[in-house]
Structure 1
């Protein structure tokens, strides 16, 4: 199932992007976290700026060792920014890490969740850089796998 929604945020795009990227605050808004703690394990920069990166996040739930990994791609530009991520289960991680993983990568299924931010200029925009003042339009998109038994008949 795919779903999307559009929101008007009464804050600059830079602030909205920073809130989405903040791993300490993430547990308050991200349902994949389920109240756990988040630690960025790996970050690979895509460009000169530190906001353009691919990361692997480690989510830990309690002390029982219940963990989850998340693959995340994020980018910030004055014209718009995004943050897209997907949960990685143990079977998928094993497939990626196995020696024959390259042959099986065509069978990998990721169900991404993401946010796209676009700045809206206002009177204060003439003084501040684009994205540093004004408001933001945020589009949130979700893909959720559903079992055929969950779908209604008729």
Structure 2
């Protein structure tokens, strides 16, 4: 990744399934000399999440539910719980979907609080569970998913202010830019240390 991070803002007002306020989206893409299947398995696995996910604050991530979608166990929807030493994040859940086929794969996730998840699980209207998905597409750069490299587009969405009329600060842009840059560097560092499959 160079310094080519694209940033966009939008105001969310009365938008079902999205929190009200100013949402900042940032995206970039980068290349890894690692086969796509290894990248996919690394990003979707809750046991390696604290190696790259800054928002988990190095806490232990536990899979609470796993719903397989197809023959490949990697194609699933998971409910993850972050057990962080930071008490402010102890109520955070992550709803994650991962999917792969011969053309590529993706890992998309969204933080969710326990109260919102309980509302949905008890038959409540899912439009009241505000989600801001972030994640990765993993595209093969080689003959097969078992060799060659991977191209990874990555995008984050963050609620920077819960007031839709608020003005965006340069600090918010710097924060999301730093978040995406640190995530990319952590992924590169972790996968470059892994032994070849």
Place the TM-score, normalised by the shorter chain, in its bin. 0.7 to 0.9
Let me know the Cα RMSD of the aligned residues: 2.1
The 2-side partners of 1:21 and 1:108 are apart by 23
- 1:63, distance to aligned residue in structure 2 (A): 9.2
- 1:150, distance to aligned residue in structure 2 (A): 5.4
Q: How does 1:1-154 map to 2 (within 5 A)?
A: 1-62=24-85, 66-99=90-123, 101=124, 104-121=125-142, 125=143, 130-147=144-161, 148=163, 149=166, 151-152=168-169
The 2-side partners of 1:94 and 1:41 are apart by 13
Structure 2 gaps, min length 5: 1-23, 170-197
- 1:95, distance to aligned residue in structure 2 (A): 2.3
The 2-side partners of 1:87 and 1:150 are apart by 24
The 2-side partners of 1:71 and 1:95 are apart by 14
Equivalent residue of 1:144, what SS? strand
How many residues align? The count is 143
The 1-side partners of 2:111 and 2:58 are apart by 15
Does the 8 A contact of 1:39 with 1:59 survive in 2? yes
When normalised by structure 1's length, the TM-score is 0.83
Larger Rg: 1
Does the 8 A contact of 1:61 with 1:67 survive in 2? no
